[in-house]
Amino acid sequence: MSGATNVADRTAAPARKRLAVFKFASCDGCQLTLLDCEDEFLALTDAVQIVHFTEATRTSLPGPYDVALVEGSITTPEDAERIQRVRADSRFLVVLGACATAGGIQALRDFGDVREFTEAVYARPEYISTLARSTPIAAHVPVDFELRGCPIDRGQLLEVVTAYLAGRKPRIPDRGVCFECKARGTVCVTVADGTPCLGPVTHAGCGAICPAFRRGCYGCFGPARDPNTAAQIRLLRSQGESPEQITRVFRTFNAASAAFLAASSAQRPDTEEELHDAPA
Amino acid sequence: MTHQHDRTLRVGSLARVEGEGAMHIRLDGGGRVEQARLEIYEPPRFFEAFLRGRAHTEAPDITARVCGICPVAYQISACLAMEDACGVSVGGQLTELRRLLYCGEWIESHALHIHLLHAPDFLGYASGIEMARDHRGDVERGLEIKKVGNALMTLVGGRAIHPVNVRLGGFHRVPTRQELQRFVPELRRALELALETVVWVAGFDFPQATAHHRLLAVDAGDRYPVDGGSRIMTDADYGFRVDRFEDYVFERQVPHSTALYAELADGSTYLTGPLARYNLHSAKLSRHAATAARAAGLGAECRNPFRSIVVRAVETVYAIEESLRIIEDYEPPERPWVPVPAPPRAVRGVGVTEAPRGLLYHRYDLAADGTIAQARIVPPTAQNQAAIEAELCDLVEAHRDLDDLRLTELCEQAIRNHDPCISCSAHFLHLHLERT
């Protein structure tokens, strides 16, 4: 950009920040969360210029982008290339939700044979182009912030967007769901009802919704920082969960996250012996 | 004016639809459509493959992740199919609560589509955001209605996207009467706003078009179909039981799409969604919804797909009135769920509900250990894909004198008539029969 243009920019109204939203393999729920900010959406669109957001507008302007929000995981060769271009065009790259941060539910293909999966779903698998694994965005490009959840929380999304537009770090705690249960005064479903609950090892952010509905946490925000999954597994076993059930509990929307992958793999029959030492 | 050369209309990335699709239309030198395609390139996610081996209780939460726009549709269709497989009937207030949750999804999804995704086509804007500069009040009204739908889903389901409270047999926790009653003022306000929206959209200019396809919708007895039913109705002289769905509907795969095409056994294309529901069931609409429909100029039959936005607005009124009725009659059930144990033998179950954009079919085969042996899901947009393409052909031939830009815009608008949910359509497709 030339010096003359810079001077002209300064004398004009300050340019609005440019926000873009991109989708990869996903359910669209995390980007829908932006449209679910009903009270804030129009104010946001006044404050920033939405230059690319296919779900909401036909307008699509090229980069650079001040902030790019990316939903979804990488599952095709084309998308592996596309994310490189998005990264190159974006000052801050914020990835949204379990697909973008952990590979999502579609990472369950990692435990099977994707060719067999394709044949199971499509009669003409040769028309289908897909990768053997579903990978998070950070496996392909550097990421500035990972917002967790399946789906993400609306309040947290607003915090992250506001923070990057204001040039500060988002205030998103990485503690466990148990903390949120205590904060909202929910009776512990494990202690009171003996309900299996992943709260101790799951990342906070949802506001501990499930226990408030008398349901155990099912881990949709993925692992908390340094989760003690060994203790969690012992607890689940003591509640009567079978190794198969425990494997499935860790293999949902964040199955390919390191901590949950290790926990679910620890339940394989060949390693089960070690776990028999655990107090039942 | 006749174009002397071939024309191609192409939209590489369809906007204001859910998921990733493209449009490709080719006309020959005489202006006849050689090919009209709605191309779905959404990457496949293989739900049907990885559902195998999962516990029967997991289907509602896992299949919700097919679609962030209509997760309740997936959850309830999955519940109905599993309960059918296990020989359990839920009924009573638990079914009413499901319908209430589902109404929340209709309100949210319809309000989003009407105000932010579809209305900009009629008023000439690239988006609801741009439209808000000149029509701020209309967009704000839409967002307010949408918010009430989300609040209703949060109240009953715990959150609006991928609700946590649904389980086989009912809910983890049911609301008290007082919790629901507290929501009545918001719904009353939303009803007024939704009635304003019917008047607003009824005043749009609608291009001439006629949908000639068969129409399919769930038959829910004396009720407008939302949360399921045991039969499917058509506009021909037949209907069929839900468990005969795969005898009447066939799917085939085509190279240009990760979704499969559905068609009826006789090879005819069909349409599901608001137009089909309205044409087959308009007599069952609630009082305000029926009055609003008449005032908006909808007769007993409406075959113009461009007027689907009016039908959606009427259905929004219906979903709000229905929510008010359910809350008024609500008595908390004795227990939040009925047990749905898997029988110790191989069983099969089917479930069908009306997602905001159309009929959603689930079928599960369970192994004797209660895990899923096979899953099949037929989402609404896969069913509508062939009908949408047929409508594009008619539309392009009728308007071939328009320049490419205007004709392309008109085609995009026509696709949005059906609120396509492309993420859904790519994910669950399972070939049953291939025909060329």
Determine the pLDDT at residue A117: 83
Q: Is the pLDDT of residue B173 over 70?
A: yes
A107 has pLDDT over 80: yes
What confidence tier does A113 reach under pLDDT thresholds 50, 70, 90? confident
Arithmetic mean of pLDDT over chain B = 92
**B129 and chain A: CB distance < 8 Å anywhere?**
yes
Query: Other C-beta atoms within 10 Å of A181: how many?
Result: 23
Residues A32 and A76 in one domain: yes
Residues B19 and B112 in one domain: no
In a domain, B88, yes or no: yes
Residues facing B7 on adjacent strands: B27
Nearest CA in chain B to A42: B129
Q: Chain A contact for B189, CB < 8 A?
A: no
Per CB-CB distance under 8 Å, the chain A contacts of B140 are: 42
Give B240's strand partners: B232
Interface of A with B in 139-168 (CB under 8 A): 150-151
Q: Inter-chain contact B126–A57, Cβ cutoff 8 Å? A: yes
Measured distance CA(B377)–CA(B260) in Å, rounded: 11
Residue B430 has a pLDDT of 31
- Residue B311 identity (one-letter amino acid): V
Residue A2 is predicted with a pLDDT of 38
For chain A, positions 209-238, list CB contacts with chain B under 8 A. Answer: 209-210, 212-215, 218, 220
Question: Exposed, middle or buried, B311 (CB in 10 Å: 0-12/13-18/19+)?
Answer: buried
Number of structural domains (chain A) is: 2
- Tokens 């007769």 found at: B299
Least confident stretch, B132-136, B205-209, B304-308, B396-400: B396-400
The confidence score (pLDDT) of residue B30 equals 81
Residue B113 and residue B12 share a domain: no
- pLDDT exceeds cutoff 50 at B1: no
pLDDT per residue as tens digits for the range B29-44 = 887 888 888 887 778 8
Q: Would residue A218 count as lying in a domain?
A: yes
Distances (CA, A) of B171 to A193, B55, B166: 16, 18, 5
**Which pLDDT band holds residue A253 (cuts at 50, 70, 90)?**
very high
How many beta-carbon pairs under 8 angstroms link A with B?
Answer: 191
SS (H, E, C) chain B: CCCCCCEEEEECCCCCCECCEEEEEEECCCCCEEEEEEEECCCCCCHHHHCCCCEHHHHHHHHHCCCCCCHHHHHHHHHHHHHHHCCCCCCHHHHHHHHHHHHHHHHHHHHHHHHHHHHHHHHCCCEHHHHHHHCHHHHHHHHHHHHHHHHHHHHHHCCCCCCCCEECCEECCCCCHHHHHCCHHHHHHHHHHHHHHHHHHHCCCCCCCCCCCEEEEEEECCECCCCCCCEEEECCCCEEEHHHHHHHEEEEECCCECCEEEEECCCCCEECCHHHHHHHHHHHCCHHHHHHHHHCCCCCCCCCHHHHHHHHHHHHHHHHHHHHHHHHHCCCCCCCECCCCCCCCCEEEEEEEEECCEEEEEEEEECCCCEEEEEEEECHHHHHHHHHHHHHHHHHHHCCCCCHHHHHHHHHHHHHCCCCEHHHHHHCCCCCCCCC
**What is the three-state SS of chain A?**
CCHHHHHHHHHCCCCCEEEEEEECECCCHHHHHHHCCCCCHHHHHHHEEEEEECCCECCECCCCEEEEEEECEECCHHHHHHHHHHHHHEEEEEEEHHHHHHCCHHHHHHHCCHHHHHHHHCCCHHHCCCCCCCECHHHCCCCCEEECCCCCCHHHHHHHHHHHHHCCCCCCCCCEHHHHHHHHCCCCHHHHHCCCCCHHHEECCCCCHHHHCCCCCCCCCCECCCCCHHHHHHHHHHCCCCHHHHHHHHCCCCCCCHHHHHHHHCCCHHHHHHHCCCCC
Q: Is B147 in contact with A23 (Cβ distance < 8 A)?
A: no
Render pLDDT for B260-308 as a digit per residue (tens, 0 to 9).
677 898 888 999 999 999 999 999 999 999 999 999 999 999 999 999 9
Please tell me if residue B162 touches chain A, with a CB cutoff of 8 Å.
Answer: yes
- The pLDDT of residue B434 is 26
Over residues A132-169, the pLDDT tens digits come to: 899 999 999 999 999 999 999 999 999 999 999 888 99
A161 and A186 part of one domain: no
Whether the CB of B136 is below 8 Å from some CB of chain A: the reply is yes
Reported as a pLDDT band with limits 50, 70 and 90, residue B425 is: low
Residue B102, domain member (yes or no):
yes
Same domain for A197 and A255, yes or no, is: yes
Could you tell me if B304 and B405 lie in one domain?
yes
Is position A152 within any domain?
yes
Q: Which residues of B touch A60 (CB under 8 A)?
A: 13, 15
Nearest CA in chain A to B124: A58
Nearest C-alpha in A relative to B412: A58
Q: Does B14 touch chain A (CB under 8 A)?
A: yes
Q: Say yes or no: B406 contacts chain A, CB-CB below 8 A.
A: no
**Which comes out higher in pLDDT, residue B17 or B372?**
B372
Which of B16, B23, B45 to probe the A interface (max A CBs under 10 A)? B45
Asked if the Cβ–Cβ distance from B253 to A59 is below 8 Å, we say no
The mean pLDDT of B51-70, rounded to a whole number, is 96
User: Does the CB of B392 have a partner CB in chain A at under 8 Å?
Assistant: no
User: Does B20 share its domain with B132?
Assistant: no
Q: What is the mean pLDDT of residues B216-231?
A: 96
Using CA atoms, how far apart are residues B362 and B66, in angstroms rounded to an integer? 12
pLDDT bucket at B234, cuts 50 / 70 / 90: very high
| Same domain? B141 vs B257 | yes
Of residues A127 and B70, more confidence is placed in B70
- The values of phi and psi at residue B250, to 5°, are -125, 150
Residue A227 scores a pLDDT above 90: yes
Say which CATH number the domain at A120 has: 3.40.50.700
Q: Are residues B126 and B238 in the same domain?
A: yes
Of A166, A189, A205, which residue sits at a domain end? A166
Q: Are A139 and A202 found together in one domain? A: no
Residue B210 lies in a domain: yes
pLDDT for the residue numbered B253: 73
Pairing of strands B270-271, B214-219: parallel
Of B13, B14, B43, the CB nearest to A25: B43
The CA distance from B222 to B233, in Å, is: 13
The answer to whether residue A76 sits within a structural domain is yes
Q: How far is A271 from chain B (nearest CA, A)?
A: 20
Cross-chain residue pair A220–B126, CB shorter than 8 Å: no
Q: What is the residue range of B21's domain?
A: 7-40
Residues 21-80 of B with CB under 8 A from A: 42-50, 52, 54-55, 58, 61-62, 65-69, 71
CA distance B301 to chain A (A): 31
Which residues numbered 259-278 in B keep a CB inside 8 Å of some CB on A? Answer: none
Rounded distance between C-alpha atoms, residue B356 and residue B111, angstroms: 11
Give chain B positions within 8 Å (CB) of A209: 158-159, 164
Q: In which domain, by residue range, is A248 found? A: 177-275
Looking at the domain assignment, is residue B319 inside a domain? yes
- Sort out which chain B residues have CB atoms less than 8 A from A27's CB and list them: 65-68, 71, 423
In a domain? residue B280: yes
User: Among A8-12, A179-183, B389-393, which is the least confidently predicted range?
Assistant: A8-12
pLDDT at A7 over 70: no
Phi, psi of B15 (to 5 degrees): -100, 165
Q: Which among A105, A134, A214 has the least Cβ separation from residue B172? A: A214
Q: Which of B42, B140, B164 lies closest to A42 in CB terms? A: B140
Q: Is residue A186 part of a domain?
A: yes
Interface of B with A in 202-261 (CB under 8 A): 253, 255, 258
Question: In this structure, which amino acid lies at residue A227?
Answer: P
> What's the pLDDT score for residue B435?
25
B237-245 contacts at long range (C-beta below 8 A, 24 or more positions apart): B242/B218, B242/B350, B242/B351, B242/B352, B242/B361, B243/B84, B243/B350, B245/B350, B245/B352, B245/B361, B245/B363, B245/B378
A31-66: pLDDT as tens digits: 999 999 999 999 999 999 999 999 999 889 999 999
The answer to whether residue A171 is domain-embedded is no
Question: Do B137 and B28 belong together in one domain?
Answer: no
Say yes or no to pLDDT of B144 above 80: yes
Q: How confident is the model at residue A15 (pLDDT cuts 50, 70, 90)?
A: confident
A58 within domain boundaries? yes
Count the domains in chain B.
2
Q: Are residues B54 and B28 in the same domain?
A: no
pLDDT bucket at B108, cuts 50 / 70 / 90: very high
> pLDDT-based confidence at B361, cuts 50/70/90?
very high
Give yes or no for residue A275 having a pLDDT over 70.
no
pLDDT per residue as tens digits for the range B312-323 = 999 999 999 999
Do A13 and A147 lie in a common domain? yes
Tell which of A121, A206, A217 to mutate to test the B interface (max B CBs under 10 Å): A121
pLDDT for position B40: 77
Cα dist from B213 to A122, A153, B25, B36, B86, whole Å: 26, 41, 20, 16, 36
CATH number of the domain within which B180 lies: 1.10.645.10
Q: Are B4 and B11 in contact (CB under 8 A)?
A: no
Contact B77, B351 (CB under 8 A): yes
Q: Is residue B436, in this structure, part of any structural domain at all?
A: no
Quickly state the pLDDT bin for B424 (edges 50, 70, 90): low
Q: Looking at the structure, tell me whether residues B163 and B283 fall in a common domain.
A: yes
Say if residue A14 is in the same domain as residue A97: yes
Q: What is the torsion angle, in degrees rounded to the nearest 10, for the CA atoms of residue B212, residue B218, residue B222 and residue B226?
A: -110
Give the tens place of pLDDT for each residue, A195-225: 999 999 999 999 999 999 999 999 999 999 9
Whether residue A196 sits in one domain with residue A144: no
- Identify all chain A residues contacting B144, using CB atoms and an 8 Å cutoff: 38
Mean pLDDT for all residues in chain A: 89
pLDDT-derived band of residue B4, with 50, 70 and 90 as boundaries? low
Domain shared by A77 and A157, yes or no: yes
Q: Is residue A115 part of a domain?
A: yes
User: For residue B148, what pLDDT is reported?
Assistant: 98
Q: Would A36 be classed as within a structural domain?
A: yes
Is there a single domain that holds both residue B16 and residue B75?
no
Q: Write out the two tokens for B23.
A: 């449009």
Nearest to A75 by CA among A128, A143, A22: A128
> Are residues A138 and A46 part of one domain?
yes
User: Is residue B134 scored above 90 in pLDDT?
Assistant: yes
| Out of B44-53, B192-201, B255-264, B385-394, least confident range | B255-264
- Looking at the structure, tell me whether residues B181 and B275 fall in a common domain: yes
Closest CB from B13, B16, B20 relative to A56: B16
Do B117 and B134 belong together in one domain? yes
Q: What is the dihedral of CA B355, B360, B365, B370, to 10 degrees?
A: -10
**pLDDT score, position B243:** 96
* 8 Å CB contact between B302 and B132: no
Residues A37 and A94 in one domain: yes
pTM: 0.94
Residues A18 and A146 in one domain: yes
- Higher-scoring residue by pLDDT: B23, B338: B338
B161 occurs within a structural domain: yes
Does residue B157 belong to any structural domain of this protein?
Answer: yes
A148: its two tokens: 């967790």
Q: Which of residues A139, A166, A193 is at a domain's end? A: A166
Neighbours of B239 (CB within 10 A): 15
Average pLDDT over residues B352-373: 97
Q: Are A23 and B14 spatial neighbours (Cβ–Cβ below 8 Å)?
A: no
In which band, very low, low, confident or very high, does the pLDDT at A8 lie, cut at 50, 70 and 90?
very low
Percent of residues, chain B, with pLDDT higher than 90: 78
Domain identity same for A47 and A27: yes
Largest CA distance in chain B: 73
Q: Cβ distance A249 to A195 under 8 Å? A: no
B326 vs B381, higher pLDDT: B326
